[in-house]
Amino acid sequence: MRVVDLFAGCGGLSLGFQNAGFEIVGAVEFWDVALETYRVNFKHPIYKQDLSNFSSSINLIQPLLPDMIIGGPPCQDFSHAGKRIEAERAGLTGVFAEIVAKIKPRYFVMENVDRAKDSIAYAYAKNVFKKAGYGITEMTLNAAHCGVPQKRKRFFVLGILGGDDGFATTWLNEHQTQKETTIRDYFGSNVLGFDYYYRHPRNYNRRAIYSIDEPAPTMRGVNRPVPQGYPGHPLDPHPVDNTIRALTTLERSLIQTFPAGYKWVGSKTDIEQMIGNAVPVKLAEYVATCMAQYVVEVPDYSGFESWLHKTNYSDRVISDIISRLKRAYKIIEDDPNPTYLFILERTDAFLNIDSSVRSQIKKAVSLYIEYKFDMIARHHALKGL
């Protein structure tokens, strides 16, 4: 399953999908610091590209042959000051949808802030997805119910080409934890070495002291120390004294569920911004695990047929090969786990076929695998990889 991550940032969404077993074959980002941070943490390529340049973006992404496109367009599309942006092609959210509709991967996942679901920008994107033939699942997830020690609500749109709307709703609901994940739940009692910490409020009508026996509030893109003269708040669970401090940059990244060894590039301000912008890795992994339940290998019949023509097969032979490949896929669709072609030879429906027909089916599948590898090799040669 070949996945491309758009608006990849520092890599939270990519890492979650990678942890869930997906193959990330490429990512796209425009912010230099985030791009370099991503590059030092992953082996696959990341490309600098302004995705609002639609035609050049398609030329970059299409050769990657994505089966799935994932990404989180910038949330500025949904700011209160963003009405003008929403009116102009619905901002980068619309661009994400248009890229998906043009390339038509079998699957997509889009992530954004909770308020995105009611925006003009998302209404535009949803219309693009539907016109392109995608069945979609829309859901706001609280990261604290998905294995992340942080209250962070994010809106996800999951899409399958030719699928039904709401296909993943049941899974996403049933696999959330009843109890919110606290910092102590996630790290244990002695790892961080403190019980209370300071998180600067947007205004002093809100509390600023938090306990590790609750989820952290949403990690924002700024991280301020305790100011002199902080007046305290009636709901603070602990008074401000010399034991109270703000979280460190590393602690904030850990609460975003990045691994301790994740490498960060740039100034402290840049790193704090990347951490605040990121999709928590465990939240991404939760959504990726959900998508894995619906992944079925769908062959590229038209591209395969063109490749067979170039390989000098006759029309009649090509017709037979395509027919046998379709039969192979029909067999594995009947299997309880129709994810990979290697299960074909373990399937009763295949083993009960005449041996000569089995041989013909295996030949068709082998040719298709050869075709897929040839396409990947051509892409790598084109990109100089």
DSSP per-residue string spanning 144-198: GGTT-SB--EEEEEEEEET--TTTTHHHHHHTS-SSPPPHHHHH-SSSS--SEEE
Name which of 38-42, 154-158, 376-380 the model is least confident about.
Answer: 376-380
Domain of 311?
A: 301-383
Same domain, 307 and 285: no
Average pLDDT over residues 153-167: 94
For residue 68, being part of any structural domain is answered with: yes
Same domain, 99 and 145: yes
> What is the count of structural domains for the chain?
2
Average pLDDT over residues 122-145: 96
What's the whole-model pTM score?
0.78
Looking at residue 96, its pLDDT comes to 97
For residue 235, being part of any structural domain is answered with: no
Same domain, 285 and 337: no
- Cα separations (Å) of 191 from 150, 188, 226, 237? 17, 6, 22, 21
Same domain, 285 and 323: no
Looking at residue 334, its pLDDT comes to 52
Average pLDDT over residues 272-294: 94
Whether 75 sits among the annotated catalytic residues: the reply is yes
- pLDDT digit string (tens) for 235-249? 999 999 999 999 999
Same domain, 283 and 360: no
For residue 185, being part of any structural domain is answered with: no
Same domain, 26 and 166: yes
Question: Which one of 10, 75, 146, 290 is the catalytic residue?
Answer: 75
Average pLDDT over residues 295-313: 81
Same domain, 12 and 76: yes
Of residues 225 and 83, more confidently modeled: 225
Same domain, 13 and 45: yes
For residue 184, being part of any structural domain is answered with: no
For residue 318, being part of any structural domain is answered with: yes
Looking at residue 84, its pLDDT comes to 46
- pLDDT digit string (tens) for 51-106? 999 999 999 999 998 999 999 998 665 444 444 444 444 589 999 999 999 999 98
- Indicate the pLDDT class of residue 192, thresholds 50, 70 and 90: confident
10 Å CB burial of residue 382 (0-12, 13-18, 19+) is: exposed
Q: Any idea what DSSP says for residue 218?
A: P
For residue 195, being part of any structural domain is answered with: no
Assess contact for 313 and 321: CB atoms under 8 A: yes
- Indicate the pLDDT class of residue 113, thresholds 50, 70 and 90: very high
Same domain, 361 and 280: no
